Amino acid sequence: DAIGTRTLLNVQKDAIVCGTRTKVARNPNMERLPNNYLFPEIEARQLEHEKKYPDAQVISLGIGDTTEPIPDVITKTMSDYALSLSTLEGYSGYGAEQGNKALRLAIAQKLYPDLAVKDTEVFVSDGSQCDISRIQLLLGSKVTVAVQDPSFPAYIDSSVIIGQASDLQPTTGKYQNIEYMKCVPQNNFFPDLSNASRTDVIFFCSPNNPTGHAASREQLEQLVEFARENGSIIVYDTAYAAYITDKSPRSIYEIPGAREVAIEVSSFSKSAGFTGVRLGWTVVPEELLYSDGFPVVHDYNRIMCTCFNGASNIAQAGGLECLSTEGVRALCSKVDYYKENAQILLDTFSSLGLKAYGGVNAPYVWVHFPGRRSWDVFSEILQKTDIITVPGCGFGPGGEEFIRVGAFGHRETILEASTRLKSLFL
């Protein structure tokens, strides 16, 4: 969008520094990347607002980071494990690059019950954002890629970095060579696949960041069929699966035929509050083959061995505890807490007569302001209520007219935000 592009150009120009230079040319793919203008721009606007109104008690509903403490049954296990590293019997160094066997097995059995996921198909990692980039490294620069529009920025950014995309088109806000699959209320946040071009790879996130929409079984059946017909690979991101309340599938492997066409990335970040601890995993089924019949899982294993040396053993001990009976119970109560926050926000926007989506199967509420630019809505909300949101255009051109509101926050903050919105906004 115009603001984004203008900021991008300024940031790029401002970053040039006078001084002794090396003879190394900048990677042209990095030059193509928007300099992550969204959050710095939000921060700059927040600072400007606080300077103008020094007494303002600014509330941020913009963050996608967890706020509630990790249940102590999990931290206790991690701390015991960490202390045992100081003993001869408890010390261990490098572990398996693919992850600790017990954790791989627990993920396969407890998170994919009856879905035939094997422990050897689960690769434990330091989080799904890192896995997305490693998958891009696996796929290389020659593949064509589709993303939902709007979408979590890591898919496009990693695609640009690896060299799959051409230049950003300032008029459309889209990269050449990337297929943007529009997901809006009119199509129930699911792309019209009859009009979508074939690509090698389809990044698909459900429940979705930012729209909060969880794809239904029927929608996912269409997606898998589309991938099978086109011989594409789906990279399915379930970072928010723990938030699913209704009957929407929690894994792409609930759809028959998905094992031949889909990789799944997931994370302990938003269920266990592990955004700082760092732990995720990727499933690569044995049946997923390249055009020459070579199994993708062998290459992914190679990537993990070469570009990653295994997740922190302390984090993995915590991950295993997350999947114990007590751990699961503790996590569910945290997730429920954020879901109640989301419901408060959803009700707040609905009571203002606005169409608000998501919030039921995800910790994000996606609010529609028809005909308005999302940065203008962001500014108006900040001006009137001292609340920070995220302008939807930051997630792609399909996010224009929307703002994203996050349900991560302490209850009293969410209630205060709700009161302000109800009494000050509109």
Nearest to ligand PLP of 98, 275 (CB atom):
275
Closest CA to 190 of 201, 176, 204: 204
Nearest to ligand PLP of 357, 421 (CB atom):
357
Tell me if 251 contacts ligand PLP by CB under 6 A.
no
CB of 158 to ligand PLP, least distance (A): 11
Task: Report the chain's terminal Cα–Cα distance, integer Å.
Answer: 25
- 397 to 63, 91, 145: CA distances (angstroms): 20, 51, 17
CB of 94 to ligand PLP, least distance (A): 22
Tell me if 406 contacts ligand PLP by CB under 6 A.
no
Tell me if 64 contacts ligand PLP by CB under 6 A.
yes
Tell me if 252 contacts ligand PLP by CB under 6 A.
no
**Mask: binding to ligand PLP, 111-150, rule CB under 6 A, as x and -?**
----------------xxx---------------------
**DSSP per-residue codes, 165-232:** ---EETTTTEETTEEEEE--GGGTT---GGGPPP-SEEEEESS-TTT-PPPPHHHHHHHHHHHHHHT-
Closest CA to 397 of 229, 176, 180, 136: 180
Taking the C-alpha atoms of residue 357 and residue 14, their distance in angstroms, rounded to an integer, is: 38
CB of 108 to ligand PLP, least distance (A): 18
**Mask: binding to ligand PLP, 344-383, rule CB under 6 A, as x and -?**
----------------------------------------
Tell me if 269 contacts ligand PLP by CB under 6 A.
yes
CB of 341 to ligand PLP, least distance (A): 16
Taking the C-alpha atoms of residue 402 and residue 310, their distance in angstroms, rounded to an integer, is: 39
**Mask: binding to ligand PLP, 69-88, rule CB under 6 A, as x and -?**
--------------------
Helix, strand or coil for residue 350? helix
Q: Which residue has the tokens 């592009």?
A: 5
Nearest to ligand PLP of 106, 239 (CB atom):
239
- Angle at which helix 38-52 crosses helix 374-385, to 10 degrees, equals 30
Both tokens of residue 73? 């049954």
CB of 202 to ligand PLP, least distance (A): 15
CB of 171 to ligand PLP, least distance (A): 27
Tell me if 179 contacts ligand PLP by CB under 6 A.
no
Single residue of 60, 77, 159, 267 touching ligand PLP by CB under 6 A: 267
Nearest to ligand PLP of 131, 179 (CB atom):
131
Count of residues near ligand PLP by CB under 6 A: 13
Q: Which residue has the tokens 């984090």?
A: 315
Tell me if 209 contacts ligand PLP by CB under 6 A.
yes
**Mask: binding to ligand PLP, 229-248, rule CB under 6 A, as x and -?**
--------x-x---------
Nearest to ligand PLP of 174, 270 (CB atom):
270
Tell me if 206 contacts ligand PLP by CB under 6 A.
no
CB of 127 to ligand PLP, least distance (A): 3
CB-CB contact of 125 with 148 (8 Å):
no
Residue nearest to ligand PLP as judged by C-beta position: 127
Q: What is the SS3 string spanning 243-304?
A: HCCCCCCCCHHHCCCHHHCEEEEEECHHHHCCCCCCCEEEECCCCCECCCCCEHHHHHHHHH
Where do runs of H (alpha helix) occur along 15-141? Answer: 28-32, 38-52, 72-84, 101-106, 128-139
Closest CA to 203 of 181, 221, 172: 181
CB of 237 to ligand PLP, least distance (A): 5
Residues that bind ligand PLP (CB under 6 A): 64, 127-129, 152, 205, 209, 237, 239, 267, 269, 275, 280
